[in-house]
């Protein structure tokens, strides 16, 4: 038994040494290769890795995280979760990705947390534009975050509808990977207000989308992520992005964390997703190995304890009520997800009737539609679906 334990320890030490022999940055750079990709990683050890990290990239739907964070900066937790929002059929554009429209194409009244769920976890473009219209404009989101957070190297100028009307406007919503990773780090590791905790609770709700990139490379951790996907034309996609905050466990107890942003431009979507997942796995493996190396496994455990103390202190200020409301919201949105997948088969783009409660289903299977668009509509190759 002792001999087996010794050999196991030797094996772990050898693996750590082999991983350390080639730096994490070098390994990520090898995956990036000559592709137009930017990567930034910020760990709670104070390490920062950047490969094209200061280069501007189109954010696409990653900006929905910025929008939600700006709202959390201006609203109480109770208002963020429970404010009633009424929307109509005119708010539900047909030529865009919108599970919200698939569930109810005539409009209705919902809690704000439900709209945030659609925007953040299902990447619903109509939900995001309702939030822009009712609460904070793109310009207000931009100015508020630049004034109240460390994020500076980004811009938000256009709504989803703006970009669908004119895809070239997507370049007006951009960020550097470093700035985006820094904003995730700020929101999850530095800002401990109840509104931010409420936002985290919404982002913790399950979703069938966004699991083929950063999430795919993560083991037994907790991930809060937001993807972004650009327009498709001639087999290439203008942007394939993902940004996330990740908690990872220490064998000795407690958790560490890191934030990561990976942006890609002018790429084949499947290849870019594969690279993002591979980079994510490298970063995850590095942090797990370093966190549990005998020489380093106590690094930042004290920090994890401090974070736990802050959470306990917040609980004394009503956090339990907030998370209770969020849990109820999660039950509601899980039911919404089930209703969306009852339409397995509905193509959310092709016509309004496909999203009405007719009890019928067509041949939508999660891939890109091969149907022809109606007169005056953009081709499916210029539309975006989350992955």
Q: What is the pLDDT of residues 198-230, one digit of tens each?
A: 999 999 988 888 899 999 999 878 899 999 999
Task: State the pLDDT at residue 11.
Answer: 47
Answer yes or no: are the C-beta atoms of 19 and 287 closer than 8 Å: no
| Per-residue pLDDT, 86 | 97
Whole-number mean pLDDT of the chain? 78
242: left (phi over 0), alpha (psi -120 to 50) or beta: beta
Q: What is the pLDDT of residue 209?
A: 85
pLDDT at 359: 30
Q: Decide if 371 contacts 350 (C-beta within 8 A).
A: yes
Q: Which backbone phi and psi does 102 adopt, to 5 degrees? A: -65, -35
pLDDT at 221: 82
Q: Delimit the domains of the chain by residue range.
A: 36-342
For residues 149 and 43, what is the distance between their CA atoms, to the nearest angstrom?
18
Which pLDDT score, from 0 to 100, does residue 219 have? 83
Give the pLDDT score at 182: 98
User: What angle is formed at CA 323 by the lines to CA 136 and CA 123, rounded to 5 degrees?
Assistant: 45
Cβ neighbours of residue 339 closer than 8 Å, sequence gap 6 or more: 103
Residue predicted with more confidence, 253 or 165: 165
Least confident of 40-44, 182-186, 258-262, 351-355: 351-355
Q: In the CATH hierarchy, which fold is given to the domain comprising 36-342?
A: Beta-lactamase (3.40.710)
Percent of the chain with pLDDT over 90: 63
Lowest mean pLDDT among 143-147, 242-246, 319-323: 319-323
Kindly indicate the confidence band of residue 319, based on its pLDDT and cuts at 50, 70 and 90.
very low
Quickly count: other Cβ atoms within 10 Å of residue 270's Cβ. Answer: 12
Question: Which of the residue ranges 11-25, 43-57, 342-356 would you say has the lowest mean pLDDT?
Answer: 342-356
Average pLDDT over residues 238-261: 93
Dist CA 292 CA 13 (whole Å)? 10
Report pTM: 0.76
Determine the pLDDT at residue 292. Answer: 82
Contacts for 36 with CB less than 8 Å, ≥ 6 apart: 264, 265, 266, 267
Nearest to 15 by CA among 305, 293, 350, 208: 293
Who has greater pLDDT, 289 or 11? 289
Percent of the chain with pLDDT over 70: 70
Per DSSP bridges, beta strands 174-175 and 57-58 are: antiparallel
Relative orientation angle of helices 269-292 and 2-21, to the nearest 10 degrees = 130
Asked whether the predicted pLDDT for residue 166 surpasses 60, the reply is: yes
- The model's pLDDT over 44-83, given as tens digits with 9 standing for 90+, comes to 998 999 999 999 999 999 999 999 999 999 999 999 999 9
Q: Give the model's confidence band at 308: pLDDT under 50 very low, under 70 low, under 90 confident, else very high.
A: very low
Do 377 and 95 touch, CB atoms closer than 8 A? yes
Candidate from 36-50, 173-187, 239-253, 306-320 with smallest mean pLDDT = 306-320
Residue 37 above 90 pLDDT?
yes
Reply yes or no on whether the pLDDT at 374 is more than 50.
no
What confidence score (pLDDT) does residue 384 get?
53
Lowest mean pLDDT among 12-26, 123-137, 312-326: 312-326
The residue among 253, 60, 282, 266 whose CA lies nearest residue 175 is: 60
| 167 or 302: which leads in pLDDT | 167
More confident residue, 81 or 331: 81
Convert the pLDDT of each residue in 98-112 to its tens digit.
999 999 999 999 999
């Amino acid at each position: 038994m002792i001999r087996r334990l010794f050999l196991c320890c030797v094996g772990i030490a050898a693996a750590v040494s082999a991983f350390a022999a080639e730096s994490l940055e070098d390994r990520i750079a090898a995956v990036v290769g000559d592709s137009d990709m930017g990567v930034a990683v910020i760990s709670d050890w104070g390490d920062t890795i950047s490969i094209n990290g200061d280069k501007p990239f189109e954010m696409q739907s990653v900006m929905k995280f910025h929008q939600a964070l700006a709202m959390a900066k201006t609203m109480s937790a109770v208002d963020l979760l429970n404010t009633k929002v009424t929307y109509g059929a005119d708010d539900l554009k047909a030529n865009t990705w919108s599970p919200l429209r698939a569930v109810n194409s005539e409009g209705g009244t919902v809690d704000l947390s439900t709209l945030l769920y659609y925007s953040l976890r299902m990447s619903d473009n109509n939900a995001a534009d309702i939030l822009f219209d009712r609460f904070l404009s793109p310009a207000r989101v931009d100015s508020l975050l630049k004034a109240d957070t460390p994020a500076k190297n980004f811009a938000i100028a256009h709504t989803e509808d703006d970009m669908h009307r004119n895809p070239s406007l997507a370049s007006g919503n951009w960020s550097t990977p470093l700035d985006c990773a820094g904003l995730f780090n700020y929101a999850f590791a530095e800002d401990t207000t109840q509104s931010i905790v409420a936002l985290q609770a919404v982002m913790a709700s399950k979703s069938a989308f966004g699991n083929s990139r950063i999430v795919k490379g993560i083991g037994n951790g907790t991930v809060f992520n937001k993807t972004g996907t650009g327009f498709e034309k001639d087999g290439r996609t203008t942007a394939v992005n993902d940004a996330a905050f990740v908690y990872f466990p220490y064998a000795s107890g407690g958790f560490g964390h890191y934030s990561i942003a990976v942006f890609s431009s002018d790429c084949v979507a499947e290849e870019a997703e594969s690279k993002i997942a591979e980079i994510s796995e490298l970063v995850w493996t590095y942090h797990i190995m370093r966190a549990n190396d005998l020489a380093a496994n106590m690094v930042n455990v004290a920090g994890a304890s401090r974070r736990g103390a802050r959470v306990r202190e917040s609980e004394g200020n009503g956090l339990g009520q907030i998370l209770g409301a969020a849990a109820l919201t999660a039950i509601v949105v899980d039911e919404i997800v089930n209703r969306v997948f009852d339409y397995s088969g509905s193509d959310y783009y092709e016509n309004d009737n496909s999203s009405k409660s007719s009890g019928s289903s067509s041949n939508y299977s999660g891939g890109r539609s091969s149907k022809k668009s109606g007169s005056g509509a953009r081709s499916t190759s210029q539309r975006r679906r989350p992955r």
